[in-house]
Chains A and B, each alone.
Chain A
Amino acid sequence: MFMLPLTSKKRPPMTPLKAFLGSVLFCAVVMPLMLFPSEAGAGSALKQILGPVVSDAAMGIIMLVLFIGFLMLGFPIAFTLMALGVAFGYYAMGETVFQLFVQRTYSVMANDVLISIPLFLFMGYVIERANILDRLFRSIQLAAGWLPGSLAVATLATCALFATATGIVGAVVTLMGLLAFPAMLRAGYDTKIAAGVVCAGGCLGILIPPSVMLILYGATAGVSVVKLYAAAFVPGVMLAGMYMIYVIIRAWLNPALAPRLPEQEVKVPTLTIIIELATSFLPLSLLILSVLGAIMFGLATPQEAAAVGALGAILLSIAYGTFTFVKLKESAYLTARASAMVCWLFVGSAVFSAVFAYLGGQKLVEDFILSLNLSPFWFLILTQAIIFVLGWPLEWTEIIVIFLPIFLPLLDNFCIDPLFFGVLVALNLQTSFLSPPVAMAPFYLKGVAPKHVSINDIFSGVMPFLYIVVFAMVLFYTFPKIGLGLPEYLYGHKSPRCEAQQSSLPRLDGPMQLSAATGSEVRCPWQGTGPAGPGA
């Protein structure tokens, strides 16, 4: 019953909803009251009344649980965050919250890391509309003709390249679902393998830089986007390579799964292949590599490289003769809407997390996790498991902007490199597109696939690729050099040394002191913003 397709109009009975709402209210209001006895403090008039009964930290937890409850009701998340932030902020600090609110908003408007987001989105939308995909797929398919499972390998390579350039998952999966998926089925490929390849390949775009996801992580965690790109590059390409090796091995062991193409389709003069590659594969990869190279070798900032990439994408579509004013207009409109979606979410989360930290909820969560006395290894397992589970119902934007800020301050306590953590999260979020029940990629593929392909076929085809993602995460954990080698070599990046762990332990000895004074340090998910809080 979890696998209802997107278009389902089935009506579940209302009673589970009411039960759910009731339990949310119980968890939100009653439990914190019992768990966290209160202390007096100053604030709004309501706080004068409620103050003796409810402590600030309890209010913080109420706020978080209420948010998670309302999140599931499907209201636009940005506004839920904003309203809860302002309401609880007003409760705790009175009029000051309005200044906090507008300063947080302004800090997102004047954030120089987030500028790259609309630019990369624009580049993606322009490339998506340049009708480049057919030629790209055909040329790579010709070049890979000699491999076992050549069509699947070509699909993966096309997906990886095109998804990297556009960074838009849905478009890649649907386009390849129309183009490569029927081609593979016609060639007699196993439905499951064909489906898995299209879904897994289409999701690579948010991992391999230049990707919007890494910019968002960089802005949330205060990590340099340049270093993140350098660190995610090798793991991203490695994951694409592992997908391909898996497909080749499967096709080699059991040729019935992926039969070879007939001779006349494979036998093409080398010159034709070279010309085809030079006109489709080469320009796009050159565009990506120059954008990426300029960023990684420090020639340009990410914003500058993104702007040049967007201009390059326009020039590319002019060169292919597919440039029209209408397409440019569509790209601009879609860019505006997509960036408004992401950045308003950021505004909401900025207010919410500032108030959450002010109330001491952040501190409470941190103390709770520290009191578990986890080793860094188990902390990583815990956080990655939480992110994996959050990936079932939610999309990556919400996870990164809203839930990661809760874990990020803890990285210092466990002396985990935020860069390392970021790449691990990026790998992990690949699964959020693929895992049921709310997997975007399989449902998109189902939407365009022939009728006889069932959603369960697609899910079971995707499963091996999920295992590969997990394997890649284990590999990256065991050999962090895979990702961190490049930033270390290029920028002399150093991971923090592990001594902090001992010094963090004494904090746990005493009882949890959660007065208003400890909560007054407002932690915000990024740096470079003015002072905010009661004293500002």
Chain B
Amino acid sequence: MSSAITSAMPQTLVAASILSAAGIVLAHANTAPPPFFYFLVPIGLLVLAFIGFMWREGILLGVDHLNTVIGQMFSWTILLLTFAICYEVVARYAFGAPTNWAYDVSYMLYGTLFMMAGGYTLARNGHVRGDFLYRQWHPKSQAWTDLILYVLFYFPGIIALCYSGWDYARLAYLLNERSSSTPDGPIIWPFKAIIPVVGVLMLLQGLVEVARCVQCIRTGEWPARAHDVEELEKLILEEAEAKRLAEEGR
């Protein structure tokens, strides 16, 4: 029992961090922005979760797991998005009472969904590659190209995202900026703050990917990735391949 609690501890901390951040934002939705040190609570919780993951699985897998958990938790915004828009549809067409929040909420949920899943997608090697040559190479050459391009392209781009996103969100925070697409629009700085937050998470995940490349260069084989759920075609193809190998083995 206690092992179940300790094993779910970091996940709980991530969830608590998300909830506390959402709580702070919602509590100050109609007033001036809260002092920045309020956000030390969700950030602290996140760091604790991070330490928890690292404690259990080492630094690299810990980052991997942290990004996965964050991506998975924010995946559920798709369900929220579905329900929010359906509610608006029913309210508008059945009761003739359109909401004034549905538009802002829908793009915010969509933006949160894909930004927060960025690190998760990277952890699952899900970002699209032009890999018609790449996939025929030996893993070692793949790892060398990846390693060089991570240093050359990935980190400068993501650091630029953190740097510019921070200024962008800070300005919106100082001005207590509100959405202009609806009258009396909601505050917009929390949504803009997603950019630097995702930047930091992607930066951490990039370090893990670099470690993967280094390991591959050393051993000549790609280290296995954790996997939770795969596209159906991938599963079917793997199954067919395994069956074929089993038949040939006999």
Contacts and interface: CB of A to CB of B under 8 A. Distances in A.
B160 A178 contact: no
Contacts of B72: 333, 336
A401 B29 CA distance: 36
Interface stretch (B39-47, B57-65, B106-114): B106-114
B128 A76 contact: yes
Given A341-B121, A398-B128, A300 B89 contact: yes
Interface stretch (A95-103, A242-250, A493-501): A95-103
A173 B93 CA distance: 38
Interface centre among B110, B122, B126 (most CB of A within 10 A): B110
B191 to A, nearest CB: 7
A144 interface: no
A337 B130 contact: no
Interface string A82-103: 1110110000000000110111
Contacts of A336: 71-72, 74-75, 78, 113-114, 116-117, 120-121
A114 B110 contact: yes
Contacts of B107: 109-112, 115
B128 A78 contact: yes
B211 to A, nearest CB: 17
B81 interface: yes
Contacts of B106: 112, 115, 303
A240 to B, nearest CB: 21
A119 B106 CA distance: 11
A171 B233 contact: yes
A80 B153 contact: yes
A308 interface: yes
Given A118-B81, A395-B128, A80 B149 contact: yes
B152 interface: yes
Interface centre among A111, A115, A337 (most CB of B within 10 A): A337
Interface centre among B85, B103, B142 (most CB of A within 10 A): B85
B195 A74 contact: no
Contacts of B83: 311
A478 interface: no
Interface string B72-87: 1011101101111110
Interface stretch (B7-15, B16-24, B48-56, B235-243): B235-243
A75 B129 contact: yes
Interface centre among A102, A345, A444 (most CB of B within 10 A): A102
Interface residues of A, number: 89
Nearest to A109: B111
A438 B131 CA distance: 10
A174 B232 CA distance: 8
B6 interface: no
Contacts of B114: 109, 118, 336, 339-340, 342-344
Contacts of A329: 229
Contacts, number: 249
Interface in A61-90: 70-80, 82-84, 86-87
B236 A394 contact: no
Nearest to A128: B232
Interface stretch (A2-10, A377-385, A467-475): A2-10
Contact of B233 (A70, A99, A173): A173
A398 B132 CA distance: 13
A11 B149 contact: no
Given A80-B153, A128-B232, A341 B126 contact: yes
Given A79-B157, A174-B232, A304-B88, A344 B168 contact: no
A340 B117 contact: yes
Contacts of B149: 70, 73, 75, 80
Contact of A344 (B127, B129, B240): B127
A439 B135 CA distance: 14
Query: Interface residues of B: mostly helix, strand, loop or mixed?
Result: helix
B236 A333 contact: no
Nearest to B145: A73
A254 B118 CA distance: 53
B236 A174 contact: yes
Nearest to A71: B130
B163 interface: yes
Contacts of A304: 85, 88-89
Contact of A303 (B85, B132, B165, B228): B85
Contacts of B184: none
B81 A307 contact: yes
A86 B128 CA distance: 20
B78 A332 contact: yes
Given A74-B134, A79-B157, A110 B71 contact: no
B134 to A, nearest CB: 3
B132 A438 contact: yes
Contacts of A214: none
Interface in A442-458: 444, 447-448, 451
A257 interface: no
Contacts of A328: 79
B164 interface: yes
B164 A339 contact: no
B136 A332 contact: no
Contact of A451 (B103, B121, B163, B244): B244
B149 to A, nearest CB: 4
B137 A11 contact: yes
Contacts of A132: none
Interface of B: 71-72, 74-76, 78-79, 81-86, 88-89, 93, 103, 106-108, 110-111, 113-118, 120-122, 124, 126-138, 141-142, 145-146, 149, 152-154, 156-158, 160-161, 163-165, 167-168, 191-192, 194-195, 228-229, 231-234, 236-237, 240-241, 244
Given A72-B130, A345-B127, 7 more contacts: A70-B153, A74-B130, A118-B114, A334-B231, A339-B113, A340-B121, A393-B132
12 contacts: A7-B241, A8-B136, A12-B136, A74-B134, A106-B195, A174-B232, A304-B88, A332-B79, A336-B114, A340-B120, A444-B237, A448-B237
Q: Which 4 A-B pairs have the closest CB atoms?
A: A74-B134, A109-B111, A170-B233, A307-B85
